[in-house]
Amino acid sequence: MTVWLRNAARLALASLIVAVGAATALAAPEVGSPAPAFVGAGSKGEAVDLTALKGKRVVLEWTNHDCPFVRKHYSGGNMQSLQKRAAEAGVVWISIISSAPGRQGHVSADRANELTVTRKAAPAHVVLDPSGKIGRLYGARTTPHMFVIDEKGALVFKGGIDSIPSANPADIKSATNYVAAALDALAAGGLPKVASARPYGCSVKYGS
Amino acid sequence: MVDMRVSTFSSWRRAAGRRFVWMLAYVAALLAAPLAQAVEAPERAKSERAEARLVADVAAAAPGRPFTVALQLKLAPHWHSYWRNPGASGLETKIIWDAPKGVEIGELQFPIPKRIPFGELVNFGFENEATHLVDVTPPKDWPVGAPLTLKAKASWLVCEKICVPEAQEFTLIVPTAATATRDLDAARIVARGRSTQPAKTGAPARFKRLEGAQYRIEVDSPSMARAGLKNFFFFPHDWRAAEASKPQKLERTARGVALIIDAAEAGFEAPLTGVLRAEYPSGAPVAIEVSATLMDGAKAVAIDDAPEAPAAPKAAPKEAPAPDMAFGLQASVGAATLLAFLGGLILNIMPCVFPVLALKAVAIARAAHADTTADAGAARHGLRDGLAYGAGVLASFLAFAAGLLALKSAGVAAGWGFQLQTPIVVAALAYVLVLVGLNLAGVFDVALGGGGVGQKLTEKGGVTGSFFTGVLAALVAAPCTAPFMGAALGFALTQDAATALIVFAALAIGFAAPIILLAAAPATARLIPKPGPWMERFRQALAFPMFLAAAWLFWVLGHQAGVDTLFSALIGAVALAFATWALGVAYPRSKAGRIAAVAGAVLALVGALWALSPAWSFDPSERVSTKASGPRMEAFSTARLAELRGKDQLVLLNVTADWCISCKVNELNVLRGDRFRQVLERTDAIYLKADWTLRDEKITKLLGEFGRVGVPLYVVYPRGGGEPIILPQILTHSALATALGDS
């Protein structure tokens, strides 16, 4: 009961923050500046509070399971292995679904959990963002669209997941994975060499 | 050394042998061409979202001759495909080619993009139809008759509310023949594709970074500044250079338009390339390609060192310095017209033109003197002849300009001076000069039909004769215009057709002015001494400047295509001389003698043409270029320039050509020797030399980035990624040292 209350309080706070953020719709945060704070509704009923994750590295992944570009990275296990590597290294991986109700990729919490199981995915959280508030706060425009946040809460990478914009899974092996590179750089005590990359994929299916 | 010479000579002989086989094949192919028309049906791919097909605009391609392939996407209603920068999301259409070795495949060309909103996100792409073009050039040594198999893995993303990536592998089998034949249906698709592309006007453009990720881009384009155009939008190739969803603020400038743009990210670099699009009130798009240089801080070192006012985005923008013209004049239609007129005047004393004009002047003088002596009728025709001559000059220059504009609108990146970038043209012009020289020397006389160019070239009167003298003068002037008139004519070509024609007309009028003046005022003509035997000697003496000009062209040819090609062309020139001699002063009176002379001359003429074959079949990739070498001196490549800039290296770039006299003068006076080397060492600069002697798309593009279509161009790329500094076309040690920061 107290957990539920705390979560509800956090959600209320988050809504406020997000409401302020939404005023600057799609103003993407700059690399090097603090990652915008949010509290999202996790698919397992948990509240996901970015501020509370300070001290940990965080990856945000915008996703839409029906988008061919998302499928490109899930069908061969590329995204899953990245998630597992992140988990092993203590990185908090948050998949975010900003599809509006009735639009492609919009799912219920149960369906989101089911997708995690069937796809053998390993995110720490799946956040449901049907209003698109968190998406707009980060200027997320494609699925996938990736963001990497360091322990201090600063955004250190944003953009496309790798160096070859295509829908063809065969391109994955010859591409440079920017998220993996960013996590490696952080683990080595440095900053990602590529801090921003062209996001590619389907557009995020925001509601109007 | 000896071995090398033997091997190059035998390779030349092999080339000549190939040529013979090729000619046989040509005849065979001419006969067989109608049979080779059966092209394999172009493949199509169809889904409920898009229908794709790939076609080549030739029924048969010829070795070494470019043709165009079109990827046509017909899109179902509400579905769209994407431009090369897809905007907020999406993915550009791509083709991955699998072609036989040696086949040159150009970049995928995109139609004019359009903004396609999806909620608050905006994409750049195409609705209904998108026709993409690719230029393909089969190798010169491709066996005639062997079909060319091109495999194209095309992929495109189509989106409506959801996105579907589609891909299709096409196989295009293109028959080959000695001469290309067009496939009319496919050519129509290609033409349609071309008509949907942004125009390549080379309009000067520049941009200035403002606060944050904002910047202001100015494009000097009268065609885009027309009243009534609306919905201006700049589509950058680099995704970072525009936030697709943000509107761009339009300002009108003295020379065109400017836009204030929110970049998605500040990291994009100069030159900023993309497409500027606007719409007519009907909604029909109009667009041009843009390549904008960065313009913060001081621009032209030599001209303007006024202190820069602190940037005030709100204030009326300072008139941006236009690319400097020759002699440091500002580019404007008026200045270019004046320059062209003066240039035309100066052309009269060029070694390749002066002899022709001198003769014309003498002929007019003779007529003027005749007025005071016997034949009064001759003088009355003076003015008429002068005007006819002027008309000949004007017609030739305008035809030249029109041809160039047509080439340009067909998408060929032709800069001024391009006529000297092709060895065969250089060789042919050298032949023309040799012929005119031989005529002047009295080896032979020409009599063209209808009074024609006239007995002894120009002496005969007659409107037609004068007209053709004008044409001839313009023709022999062609090689001389490039080195001296490059800037004014280059500027003209970047403008709309009317301006270009005005500038060319000014050149023609300046060129014709002295003769018209002479003809119109017999009094001036009478200043020339009375006719007499001296005229014959004078005429013969005029042959020498002509041969001098020919020698220069042969030198250019040698630089372009090597000593073997030069040698062959020189042998051809000798054969040409023999033919004119046999038909001219040596022409026998006896019938048998005549037959022998004609036969000999025909053989020699065929030989002279044959001797051009190495120049004709010359493959630019075989060129042994005269690279700049030595410490700190390197040949230009796009990659090397990018690498040096990435390393924060100070770079001096010289874009030059062997046929460009002012380039050579600068190189002799400034860009060599100890003094130059010391400046490079002191400032730790790297000198890159880009050689435009032969056609080179990369260098043409590089010139375009600076709003140029001709050489010379000198640029200093400062350390720290600052905006490049363009140096004046007449280079001095001190201007160079200042630009490089050498005190």
Beta-carbon separation of A168 and B264 below 8 A: no
3-state DSSP assignment of residue B56:
strand
- Chain A with chain B: Cβ pairs closer than 8 A: 74
Residue A188 near residue A150, CB atoms below 8 Å: no
Q: Quick one: which of B201, B585, B253, B608 has its CA closest to B411?
A: B201
What is the model's pLDDT at position B615?
82
Beta-carbon separation of A196 and B267 below 8 A: yes
Of A165, A203, A207, the CB nearest to B118: A203
What is the model's pLDDT at position B106?
93
Beta-carbon separation of B161 and A205 below 8 A: yes
> Above 50 in pLDDT, residue B740?
yes
In angstroms, the separation between the Cα of residue B240 and the nearest Cα of chain A is 8
Residues of A in contact with B267 (CB under 8 A): 196
> Above 70 in pLDDT, residue B621?
no
What is the model's pLDDT at position B487?
60
Mean pLDDT of B136-144: 92
Backbone torsions φ then ψ of A67, nearest 5 degrees: -75, 130
What confidence tier does B453 reach under pLDDT thresholds 50, 70, 90?
very low
Q: HEC states along B620-667?
A: HHHCCCCCCCCCCEEECCHHHHHHHHHCCCEEEEEEECCCCHHHHHHH
pTM for the model? 0.50
> Above 70 in pLDDT, residue B446?
no
Q: Which residue has the higher pLDDT, B413 or B184?
A: B184
Domains of chain B, first to last? 36-195 (2.60.40.1250), 205-297 (2.60.40), 333-616 (no CATH), 633-740 (3.40.30.10)
Residue B176 near residue B147, CB atoms below 8 Å: yes
What is the model's pLDDT at position B317?
29
> Above 50 in pLDDT, residue A170?
yes
What is the model's pLDDT at position B153?
92
Cα–Cα distance measured from residue B382 to residue B535, given in angstroms and rounded to the nearest whole number:
19
- The nearest alpha carbon in chain B to A142 belongs to B89
What is the model's pLDDT at position B28?
45
Select the highest-mean-pLDDT range: B11-25, B78-92, B438-452.
B78-92
Mean pLDDT of A114-120: 95
Of A104, A142, A167, the CB nearest to B165: A167
> Above 70 in pLDDT, residue B238?
yes
Select the highest-mean-pLDDT range: B15-19, B67-71, B486-490.
B67-71
What confidence tier does B499 reach under pLDDT thresholds 50, 70, 90?
confident
| Range from B491-500, B597-606, B673-682, B731-740 carrying the lowest mean pLDDT | B491-500
Mean pLDDT of B523-537: 72
Cα–Cα distance measured from residue B170 to residue B165, given in angstroms and rounded to the nearest whole number:
16
Q: Which residue has the higher pLDDT, B31 or B388?
A: B388
Q: Which residue has the higher pLDDT, B319 or B245?
A: B245
> Above 60 in pLDDT, residue A55?
yes
Residues of A in contact with B157 (CB under 8 A): 167
SS3 percent helix, strand, coil of chain B, rounded to 5, is 45, 20, 35
User: Which residues of A make CB contacts under 8 Å with B?
Assistant: 25-26, 28, 66-69, 103-104, 136, 141-142, 165-168, 196, 198-208
CB burial readout B697-732, b (16+ within 10 A) else e: eebbebbbbbbbbbbbbbbbbbeeeebbbbbbbbbe
From 1.10.510.10, 1.10.260.40, 1.25.40.10, 3.40.30.10, which CATH number describes the A2-203 domain? 3.40.30.10
Take residue B33 and report the two structure tokens written for it: 């061409």
| Range from A56-65, B53-62, B599-608, B660-669 carrying the lowest mean pLDDT | B660-669
Mean pLDDT of B80-89: 92
What is the model's pLDDT at position B310?
33
In angstroms, the separation between the Cα of residue B123 and the nearest Cα of chain A is 9
Take residue B610 and report the two structure tokens written for it: 């044959």
> Above 60 in pLDDT, residue B461?
no
What is the model's pLDDT at position B706?
76
**Per-residue pLDDT tens digits for B149-184:** 999 999 999 998 888 888 889 999 999 988 888 888
In angstroms, the separation between the Cα of residue B83 and the nearest Cα of chain A is 13
Q: Which residue has the higher pLDDT, B36 or B445?
A: B445
Mean pLDDT of B523-548: 77
Cα–Cα distance measured from residue B292 to residue B242, given in angstroms and rounded to the nearest whole number:
14
- Other Cβ atoms less than 10 A from the Cβ of A89: the count is 12
Q: How far is CA B239 from CA A29, B79, B197, B242, in A?
A: 17, 22, 20, 6
Interface residue B120 vs chain A (CB under 8 A): yes
- The nearest alpha carbon in chain A to B93 belongs to A166
Mean pLDDT of B613-631: 64
> Above 90 in pLDDT, residue B588?
no
Mean pLDDT of A109-127: 95
> Above 80 in pLDDT, residue A129?
yes
> Above 90 in pLDDT, residue B673?
no
> Above 50 in pLDDT, residue B429?
yes
What is the model's pLDDT at position B96?
92
Mean pLDDT of B101-128: 92
Instruction: Provide CB contacts within 8 A for B231, sequence distance 6+.
Output: B277, B278, B279
Cα–Cα distance measured from residue B298 to residue B307, given in angstroms and rounded to the nearest whole number:
8
Cα–Cα distance measured from residue B425 to residue B419, given in angstroms and rounded to the nearest whole number:
7
What confidence tier does B415 reach under pLDDT thresholds 50, 70, 90?
low
Q: Which residue has the higher pLDDT, B482 or B263?
A: B263
Take residue B427 and report the two structure tokens written for it: 């060789």
The strand pairing partners of B651, in sequence order, are B686, B717
Q: Which residue has the higher pLDDT, B460 or A177?
A: A177
Instruction: Provide CB contacts within 8 A for B542, sequence distance 6+.
Output: B354, B355, B358, B359, B440
Q: Is the dihedral of CA B717, B719, B723, B725 positive or negative?
A: negative
Mean pLDDT of B389-418: 75
Q: Angle B699-B704-B709 (CA atoms, 0-180°, nearest 5)? A: 85
Instruction: Provide CB contacts within 8 A for B251, sequence distance 6+.
Output: B216, B257, B258, B259, B260, B317
Interface residue B479 vs chain A (CB under 8 A): no
> Above 50 in pLDDT, residue A102?
yes
What is the model's pLDDT at position B450?
33
**Per-residue pLDDT tens digits for B291-303:** 999 886 434 333 3
Tell me: cis bond preceding A144? Omega within 30 of 0 counts: yes
User: Chain-wide mean pLDDT for chain B?
Assistant: 77
Beta-carbon separation of A206 and B119 below 8 A: yes
- The nearest alpha carbon in chain B to A100 belongs to B119
Q: Quick one: which of B433, B424, B425, B426 has its CA closest to B549?
A: B433
Mean pLDDT of B442-447: 74
Of A25, A104, A166, the CB nearest to B120: A25
Mean pLDDT of B241-248: 90
Mutate to test the interface with B, among A33, A62, A99, A203 (most CBs of B within 10 A): A203
Q: Which residue has the higher pLDDT, B706 or B215?
A: B215
Of A67, A196, A203, the CB nearest to B88: A203
What is the model's pLDDT at position B383?
75
Instruction: Provide CB contacts within 8 A for A17, sequence distance 6+.
Output: A36, A37, A38, A39
What is the model's pLDDT at position B332?
62
Q: Quick one: which of B427, B612, B579 has its CA closest to B16?
A: B612
Beta strands A155-159 and A145-149 are: antiparallel
Backbone torsions φ then ψ of A32, nearest 5 degrees: 100, -20
> Above 50 in pLDDT, residue B37?
no
What is the model's pLDDT at position B135?
94
Cα–Cα distance measured from residue B523 to residue B506, given in angstroms and rounded to the nearest whole number:
26
> Above 50 in pLDDT, residue B20?
no
The strand pairing partners of B456, in sequence order, are none
Residue A14 near residue A39, CB atoms below 8 Å: yes
Mutate to test the interface with A, among B121, B156, B166, B245 (most CBs of A within 10 A): B121
Of B89, B119, B239, the CB nearest to A202: B89
> Above 50 in pLDDT, residue B269?
yes
Cα B407 versus chain centre, distance: 9
Residue B229 near residue B280, CB atoms below 8 Å: yes
Q: Angle B294-B639-B412 (CA atoms, 0-180°, nearest 5)? A: 75
What confidence tier does B31 reach under pLDDT thresholds 50, 70, 90?
very low
Asked whether this complex has an ipTM greater than 0.85, the answer is no
Interface residue B157 vs chain A (CB under 8 A): yes
Each domain of chain A, given as residue ranges in start order, spans: 2-203
> Above 70 in pLDDT, residue A101?
yes
> Above 80 in pLDDT, residue B356?
no
Mean pLDDT of A20-42: 74
Cα–Cα distance measured from residue A123 to residue A146, given in angstroms and rounded to the nearest whole number:
13
Residue B604 burial (CB < 10 Å; 0-12/13-18/19+)? buried
- The nearest alpha carbon in chain A to B86 belongs to A200
Cα–Cα distance measured from residue B585 to residue B578, given in angstroms and rounded to the nearest whole number:
11
| Range from A131-145, B337-351, B635-649 carrying the lowest mean pLDDT | B337-351
| Range from B75-84, B136-145, B628-637 carrying the lowest mean pLDDT | B628-637
Cα–Cα distance measured from residue A176 to residue A162, given in angstroms and rounded to the nearest whole number:
5
What is the model's pLDDT at position B309?
32
The amino acid occupying position B565 is T
Mean pLDDT of B613-624: 68
Cα–Cα distance measured from residue A148 to residue B275, given in angstroms and rounded to the nearest whole number:
33
> Above 80 in pLDDT, residue B404?
no
What confidence tier does B457 reach under pLDDT thresholds 50, 70, 90?
very low
Interface residue B214 vs chain A (CB under 8 A): no
**Per-residue pLDDT tens digits for B698-726:** 888 888 777 676 778 889 988 876 778 88
Q: What percent of chain B has pLDDT over 90?
A: 24
Cα–Cα distance measured from residue B339 to residue B331, given in angstroms and rounded to the nearest whole number:
10
